Amino acid sequence: MDKRTAVVTGGIGGLGTAICIALASAGRRVVAADLGGDRQRIDGFLRRVEGLDVRFSELDATDFDACGAFVEALEAAGEGPDILVNAAGITRDTTLRKMDRAQWDAVLSVNLDSVFNLCRHAVDGMVARGFGRIVNISSVNGQTGQFGQTNYSAAKAGMHGFTMALAREVARKGVTVNSVSPGYCETAMVMAIPEEIRQGIVDRVPVGRLGRPDEVARVVAFLSDDDAGYITGANIPVNGGLYMGF
Of 152, 184, 230, 243, which one is the catalytic site residue?
152
Positions of E strands within 95-173 = 132-137
Beta-bridge partner residues of 34: 58
DSSP assignment string, 95-112: -TTT--HHHHHHHHIIII
Known active-site residue 230 = no
DSSP character string of 59-73: --TT-HHHHHHHHHH
How far out from the chain centre does Cα 139 lie? 10
Contacts of 163 (CB under 8 A, 6+ apart): 134, 136, 138, 177, 178, 179, 233, 235
Does residue 209 contact residue 241 with C-beta atoms inside 8 Å? no
Residue 171 to residue 174: CA distance in whole angstroms: 6
Residues whose CB falls within 8 Å of the CB of residue 242, separated by 6 or more in sequence, listed in order: 140, 183, 184, 204, 205, 206
Give the H/E segment covering residue 124: helix 114-129
In the chain the first and final C-alpha atoms are separated, in Å, by: 38
Residues serving a catalytic function are 152
